[in-house]
Amino acid sequence: MKSRDQEYKEIFIAEALEYYDALNRHISDLEKTPEDEQVLAEVFRLLHNLKANAKAIGYETIADVSHKLETAFGMIRSKELNFSDEVVTVLFDGIDMLGEMITGIDGTKEVEPSQALLRNLDIVINSQAENSTELSKVQKHYTSKNLSLSDLIYIQIKKLDHLLNLVGELIIDRDRIFSISKELDNDDLKNVSAHLYRITEDLQYSVMDARLVNVGSLFNKFPRIVRDIAVAEKKEINLEISGSDIQIDRNILQIITDSLLHLMRNAISHGIEKADVRKKAKKTPNGNVMLSAQNDRDTVILKLTDDGKGIDQEEVRRAIVQRGFLSADAAGDLRDTEVLSYLFEPGFSLAKEVTEVSGRGVGLDVVKNAIDSIGGRIRVDSKKGEGTTFTLFLPTSIAVKGALLCQVEENFYAIPLMHTDSVVALPTEELHEVGELLVADINGETITIVSMRELFNNDLSQYAVKKSDLQGEAQNIIIVTYNNRKLGLIVDKLLRQQDIVIKALSKPVNTIEIYAGVTLLGSGKVCLVLDVAAITRYFIARR
């Protein structure tokens, strides 16, 4: 395993070489059309980036040379310096030297910039009045370039997406061949399919691995963002970042980028109090915000914690009633975790009272939808006066998900493990009829129980189940959880736990809400994947 530093170094070199190539191209163009503003601007930009990157990773000499070149080009841009032959030679030399130094990083000994050249550059920069004859001849030992190609390649994420889809399909076929070979009981076939199994597994992990990026690639953008928000809000914020080297699928990181930004904005502008208010509450005048990542098996847990004023449960309860989500009695009975989950309800964000008093709830439903779409979960914990923590549970990789398979009537269904809580077999007599719904007391919690058979066979608006509708003396119940709320699903049979590759349903059946997609089982059988979010939403709304 390469160290993180080594990896950064390689990335720097690859990028720097690319800049160097681009610079060479542009400066040749510039020789022909010295007036071209666009090319000049581009050269300026490239040098500026190169300088910043080199500085960040600690290559001072490269940063220094880039800086001098950048200054020279800046002067050419502002017409303080003529793009004359002498100047061109010096600049060409400078860029060549940059190239030499970049390729030298990986070598045994660091390439020192030629002093003569550095002096020439200084002269060019300060030359307005002076005569350019002072320019000394630079030894061009470094112009004997040897061509080499970078060890790193850039690849469009689209290509990796395609590759991953293909691997997904391959795995389905592999599982099929695997089960056929078991049935046929032919030794050769069994050997081959066992080998195929291992190779495809390797392939799958390799492709997944190729898509992983450091959470840091997103986290690193936050210090600047936090600073800007803090300045705008006239607050002082300490940002603490940890777990930057945790790895996650690039697309997942992309999808949650806006959400995390949104949560950060909320935390600073609404969560953290003004300095004087903080002093009164015996807190440090600086607000503290923590952004952390950690791994838990196949899940990446991102946490955003602030030590601001927190969310007032009572305010939220009042808003729940005000917005007409629940009656006052029902809202009063809600458990604390459930109360906060209403912050993610669409429309709740409009609740004036909450946005003004605690400031939360602006567009949190959008955040939740983004996280749902990748099969993740979000949780909020908050204590009034002490702060708020948003926890995002994200899958490491998009492709493969653990799922629980069950059977209802003749069909197989899959429920992503991300949303399953537990599985129980409950005697039918322990279910109770409340209105048209069934409830049960499971581990001290009252949970609404849904018969999947009835759900599938009746119109949603006419859903009504009596105990007498249920068959058998015990019911297999899968407890699912979504947004801190639990729901029990009665299925005919529990099958097994399995890794599945979820495919999106195609038109026109993609609009049916209760399905999150479809997967193929090893047997070639089509298995529908249930959308726990949609099913829960429906029954919560009913209550």
CB of 233 or CB of 499, closer to other proteins: 499
- Per-residue b/e over 514-529, b at no fewer than 16 CB within 10 Å? bbbbbbbbbeeeebbb
What is the C-alpha R_g of the chain?
31
CB of 425 or CB of 526, closer to other proteins: 526
Cβ neighbors of 136 (< 8 A, separation 6 or more) are 116, 119, 120
The single residue among 439, 503, 522, 539 that binds other proteins, judged by CB under 8 A, is 503
494 contributes a contact to other proteins by CB under 8 A: no
The single residue among 153, 443, 508, 541 that binds other proteins, judged by CB under 8 A, is 508
505 contributes a contact to other proteins by CB under 8 A: yes
CB of 5 or CB of 459, closer to other proteins: 459
Mark the segment that binds other proteins (CB under 8 A) among 87-95, 132-140, 452-460, 486-494.
452-460
C-alpha atoms less than 13 angstroms from C-alpha of 127 in its C-beta half-sphere: 24
The phi and psi torsions of 477 (rounded to 5 degrees) equal -120, 130
The single residue among 101, 418, 527, 529 that binds other proteins, judged by CB under 8 A, is 527
Strands 526-530 and 515-520: antiparallel
The span from the CA of 444 to the CA of 437, in Å, is 19
The single residue among 432, 525, 542, 543 that binds other proteins, judged by CB under 8 A, is 525
Q: Which residue is listed with tokens 């998900």?
A: 401
DSSP code for 217? H
The single residue among 90, 339, 449, 520 that binds other proteins, judged by CB under 8 A, is 520
The single residue among 4, 21, 456, 542 that binds other proteins, judged by CB under 8 A, is 456
The single residue among 460, 474, 536, 537 that binds other proteins, judged by CB under 8 A, is 460
11 contributes a contact to other proteins by CB under 8 A: no
514 contributes a contact to other proteins by CB under 8 A: yes
- Alpha helices in 36-82, H assignment, sequence order: 37-57, 60-77
The single residue among 457, 464, 472, 493 that binds other proteins, judged by CB under 8 A, is 457
The β-bridge partners of 423 are 478
Contact set for other proteins, span 120-179 (CB under 8 A): 169, 172-173
CB of 31 or CB of 169, closer to other proteins: 169
CB of 237 or CB of 398, closer to other proteins: 398
The phi and psi torsions of 407 (rounded to 5 degrees) equal -125, 135
CB of 512 to other proteins, least distance (A): 5
CB of 520 to other proteins, least distance (A): 6
The span from the CA of 72 to the CA of 76, in Å, is 6
Cβ neighbors of 186 (< 8 A, separation 6 or more) are none
3-class SS of residue 341: helix
Residues in the chain: 543
The span from the CA of 337 to the CA of 311, in Å, is 12
CB of 141 or CB of 507, closer to other proteins: 507
The phi and psi torsions of 399 (rounded to 5 degrees) equal -65, -60
CB of 414 to other proteins, least distance (A): 12
CB of 461 to other proteins, least distance (A): 10
Mark the segment that binds other proteins (CB under 8 A) among 212-220, 322-330, 423-431, 513-521.
513-521
Cis peptide before 508 (omega within 30 of 0): yes
CB of 412 to other proteins, least distance (A): 8
Q: How many residues bind other proteins (CB under 8 A)?
A: 29
CB of 518 to other proteins, least distance (A): 5
C-alpha atoms less than 13 angstroms from C-alpha of 504 in its C-beta half-sphere: 9
CB of 342 or CB of 413, closer to other proteins: 413
Nearest residue to 19 via CA among 59, 77, 75:
59
> Which pair of structure tokens corresponds to residue 359?
């400031």
The single residue among 155, 328, 474, 526 that binds other proteins, judged by CB under 8 A, is 526
Contact set for other proteins, span 357-386 (CB under 8 A): none
109 contributes a contact to other proteins by CB under 8 A: no
CB of 222 or CB of 413, closer to other proteins: 413
CB of 517 to other proteins, least distance (A): 9
Angle CA 487–490–495, to nearest 5: 110
Mark the segment that binds other proteins (CB under 8 A) among 111-119, 154-162, 306-314, 510-518.
510-518
541 contributes a contact to other proteins by CB under 8 A: no
509 contributes a contact to other proteins by CB under 8 A: yes
The span from the CA of 502 to the CA of 407, in Å, is 18
CB of 411 to other proteins, least distance (A): 6
Q: Which long-range contacts (CB under 8 A, 24 or more apart) does 143-150 make?
A: 143/96, 145/96, 145/99, 148/103, 150/13, 150/14, 150/17, 150/18
CB of 107 or CB of 508, closer to other proteins: 508
Name the packing angle between helices 364-373 and 250-266 (round to 10°): 160
CB of 199 or CB of 504, closer to other proteins: 504
Q: Are 270 and 359 in contact (CB under 8 A)?
A: yes
Mark the segment that binds other proteins (CB under 8 A) among 63-71, 197-205, 316-324, 526-534.
526-534
Element (H or E) spanning 304, and its range? strand 299-306
The span from the CA of 265 to the CA of 255, in Å, is 17
Contact set for other proteins, span 179-238 (CB under 8 A): none
Contact set for other proteins, span 394-423 (CB under 8 A): 409-411
Binding footprint of other proteins on the chain (CB under 8 A): 169, 172-173, 409-411, 455-457, 459-460, 503, 505-509, 511-515, 518, 520, 524-528
